[in-house]
Amino acid sequence: MTKSPHLGIDLFAGSGGISYGLLHAGFDMRLGIDIDPNFAFTLKENNKDMKVVVSDIRVLEPTEVVKSAGLRKKDIALIVGGPPCRGFSQSNRRSRNLDNPLNNLYKEFFRFIRVLQPQIFLLENVAGLKTLHKGAVLQDILKIGEKLGYYVQWNIVNAEDFGVPQRRKRIIFIGTKQKTDNLFYVKKNKPLTVRSALDDMPVLENGNVVDELKYSRDSKLSKYQKMMRKNNGNIVSNNLVTKNGRLVMERYNYIPPGGNWRSIPTQLMFNYKNPNNCHGWIYYRLKWDDPSVVISNFRKNMLIHPEQHRGLSVREAARLQSFPDHYVFHGPLTSQQQQVANAVPPLLAEKIGNNIIKYLMEVQ
């Protein structure tokens, strides 16, 4: 395979969703940085040509870390990154403010931009960043980008518009050295459903510990399922499921597709001090014929399979995120779950990446 002339690095790489998508758009993703060793191991195992650095980005010197990957700063076309978003999340009531140090990691992203001066940058995060501190962070990002010599465009995108079977909104900033048209454009098609993504997956029990299993069927596959299964044979991995206790299993019996904790009898919610404080995705059972709701923290959201009385497996969540089935997640179950939940859907990254590649070819 011929190497792309468009080199990219990922500063908050996680398990590699955005890098994998950009790779398939035509970028040569040479360097990934993440602080979590489990996330970094998954990233490396699925991206053999990428130099993976396990470190806190705050202690790294941009020129040196790029040099360690065999790159020169003048070779870098793209720098991407999604700083940890816990501080920006709408569900984070305690530290959703500028005193949370996690809310300042975007400045570390721009420290690399300032030193390396790539042709283009892409910064992504949860949509809640838009309103953090009355929009101060959003305005600061625009101001810093422009001060560094970039034209910055931003948008809140929904993954379902990019061929992902999930309603997932993210805010994305793209900085270019030359002014250009909308880089977020995508031809929208009919949203994909949970059924079109998952109904060929193995039938699983609560707490399943068997990692590799056969698909439930090999015929009558949707176009999306065929794409996810490409080059993967008839065995799929990452079928691990959280083991729920008796009380949780009893609650599942009362929840219909599209229902949530409100469907559970009050007497079964006795360990919640005030159930009315629960948000809508707690004990939410997915609907076969709708896109999935957002895949996020497994423990807090507790999304339920459309038919089976259990939470989602790691692989099912990865399917709903548009990770292909050959993309294997490593580490303890809780880490695998968070690796999937934290990721940018690869298909979303790929389609925006296609627009960026087109821009780079036009300006060269």
> Does domain 194-342 fall into CATH 3.90.120.10?
yes
Position 161 scores a pLDDT of 97
Taking a C-beta distance cutoff of 8 angstroms, is the pair 82, 33 a contact?
no
Measured between alpha carbons, how far is 22 from 39 in angstroms, rounded to an integer? 18
Predicted confidence at residue 156, as pLDDT, reads 97
In the predicted model, is pLDDT for residue 284 greater than 80? yes
Helices 17-25 & 346-363 angle (0-180, nearest 10): 40
Residue 106 Cα distances to 101, 111, 143, 151, angstroms: 10, 9, 13, 17
Q: What is the fold of 7-189+345-363?
A: Rossmann fold (3.40.50)
Percent of the chain topping pLDDT 70 = 93
Instruction: Report the distance separating Cα 87 and Cα 82, nearest Å.
Output: 12
Write down the residue that tokens 């422009």 correspond to: 146
Q: Does the structure show a pLDDT above 60 at 177? A: yes
Q: pLDDT band at 302, cuts 50/70/90? A: confident
Domain parsing of the chain, residue ranges: 7-189+345-363, 194-342
Task: Give the integer Cα–Cα distance in Å for 248 and 264.
Answer: 10
Task: Give the least confident one: 171-185, 267-281, 318-332, 345-359.
Answer: 267-281
Residues 104-125: pLDDT tens digits? 899 999 999 999 999 999 999 9
At position 186, the amino acid (one-letter code) is V
pLDDT (tens digit, 9 = 90+) per residue, 308-334? 999 999 999 999 999 999 999 999 999
Stronger pLDDT, 207 or 100, i.e. the higher one: 207
DSSP for residue 328: -
Distance between CA atoms of 193 and 150, rounded to whole angstroms?
38
Residue 86, pLDDT above cutoff 80: no
Q: pLDDT digits over 228-249, tens only?
A: 999 999 999 999 999 999 999 9
Does residue 32 sit in helix, strand or coil?
Answer: strand
pLDDT of residue 1: 43
pLDDT band at 281 (very low <50, low <70, confident <90, very high): confident
C-alpha–C-alpha distance, residues 310 and 313, integer Å: 9
pLDDT digits (tens, 9 = 90+) for 60-72: 999 999 999 999 9
Overall average pLDDT of the 267-295 stretch: 86
pLDDT higher than threshold 80 for residue 165: yes
Catalytic residues: 85
Q: Distance (Å, rounded) from C-alpha 174 to C-alpha 226?
A: 32
Whose tokens are 């984070």? That residue is 92
Q: Does position 93 have pLDDT exceeding 70, yes or no?
A: no
Mind listing the pLDDT tens digit for each residue in 126-149? 999 998 888 999 999 999 999 999
86 Cβ contact list (under 8 Å, min separation 6) = 92, 95, 102
What is the rounded average pLDDT for all residues in the chain?
92
Q: Distance (Å, rounded) from C-alpha 122 to C-alpha 19?
A: 11
